[in-house]
Amino acid sequence: MVSITTQLIEWYSENKRNLPWRETKEPYSVWVSEVILQQTRVNQGLAYYYRFMKEFPDITSLAHTPIDKLLKLWQGLGYYSRARNMHQAAREIVTNYHGSFPRQYKDLIRLKGIGDYTASAIASISFGERTPVLDGNVFRVIARFYGVTESTETAKGKKKFKEILNHLIPEKYPGTFNQALMEFGAIHCTPRNPKCLECIFKSDCFAFNHDLIDQLPVKKQKIKQKHRYFNYLHVVYKEYTFIEQRTGNDIWRLLYQFPLIETNSEVSIDELEQTDRWKEIFNNLNPRIDLPFFGKIHILSHQKLYVRFYKIHIDKLNGFITAHLMKTHTDKIEEKGVPVIIEKYLNLKYT
């Protein structure tokens, strides 16, 4: 009887997608692809991967680039902490490992932003270490085939999945096995409408034979979505405007934006003018405000943003408080890394 592991690897050799990072085992390329594809579909991530590798062809070029340049290239992918962590990890590799990736899981996982999944992927694919990967695709395939009912979000559940994978992963070509398992989940054993009737494992699949395809893997609890209200002030002075850099432990850290007033609910322009932040910025000026404003709802994984852009004209800088604000030519804003919602506003030519 052919083993599940052998069947899976054979399936992969015949059905895998032709993707550029599969043409090499070089750890830098593997790392870049794995980070980009976290929370990103392959068809979207592919273009970013090509641009990334063209701009930063090796670990040294990435380590030495300014963070603003990296964030600008990353714009539109979201989850910007991935880019910030990559930048720091690249510097660690250049400083502590002489520009060469550490070859073992135990060292890779110590790098900034590299968790169990990414460390396992690099160690197995690039260096042949027998260490299984756990991602959404893997959880789904294993849970359905073996009927695993433990939650993928618990330590007990993850331990159960690891035990199964440690039994399946071969000594030879562990990286190929890991890629095969992930690919099978991505294009065959999909979350919705999996190809069960043509599946090579259907006769032994627990979920298929017990009508549990839609129940496995056990879903994590739905994230409670936070509602936030952003009021951006697009201040116009001649051919200039003003931006600020987001700091602190919040979304879009280190990206640039127009001056922001965040409120607890939707407010009128009259109410906005009474906020301390407005008074701090405009002091004794009487700015002219274009109405109507531009408004849009922006959805993140755990937040729903109600965003308004107010275009505001000032005729002089005397009295305008520019602390923490950067004066920039209107045409130069797009050279900075900005959140997607601001990019959409700029593309509407409201500037």
Has 262 been annotated as catalytic? no
pLDDT at 19: 96
Residue 304 banded pLDDT, cuts 50, 70, 90 = very high
pLDDT at 1 over 70: no
% pLDDT > 70, the chain: 96
Question: Counting every residue, how long is the chain?
Answer: 351
pLDDT at 318: 72
Quick one: which of 92, 131, 127 has its CA closest to 111?
92
Of 10, 23, 26, 34, which one is the catalytic site residue?
34
Cis peptide before 292 (omega within 30 of 0): yes
% pLDDT > 90, the chain: 83
Mean pLDDT over 93-103 rounds to 97
Quick one: which of 38, 81, 21 has its CA closest to 254?
81
pLDDT at 284 over 90: no
Q: Across the chain, what does the average pLDDT equal?
A: 93
Look up residue 107 and give its two tokens: 């060292």
pLDDT at 17 over 90: yes
pLDDT at 331: 87
Domains, the chain = 4-209 (1.10.340.30), 226-347 (3.90.79.10)
Residue 350 banded pLDDT, cuts 50, 70, 90 = low
Residue 221 banded pLDDT, cuts 50, 70, 90 = low
- What is the 3-state secondary structure of 270-339? HHHHCCHHHHHHHCCCCCEECCCCEEEEEECCCEEEEEEEEEEECCCCCCCCCCCCEEEEHHHHHHCCCC
Q: Say which residues have a Cβ less than 8 Å from residue 32's Cβ, sequence separation at least 6.
A: 21, 49, 52, 53, 86
Angle at 226 between CA 337 and CA 336, to 5 degrees: 5
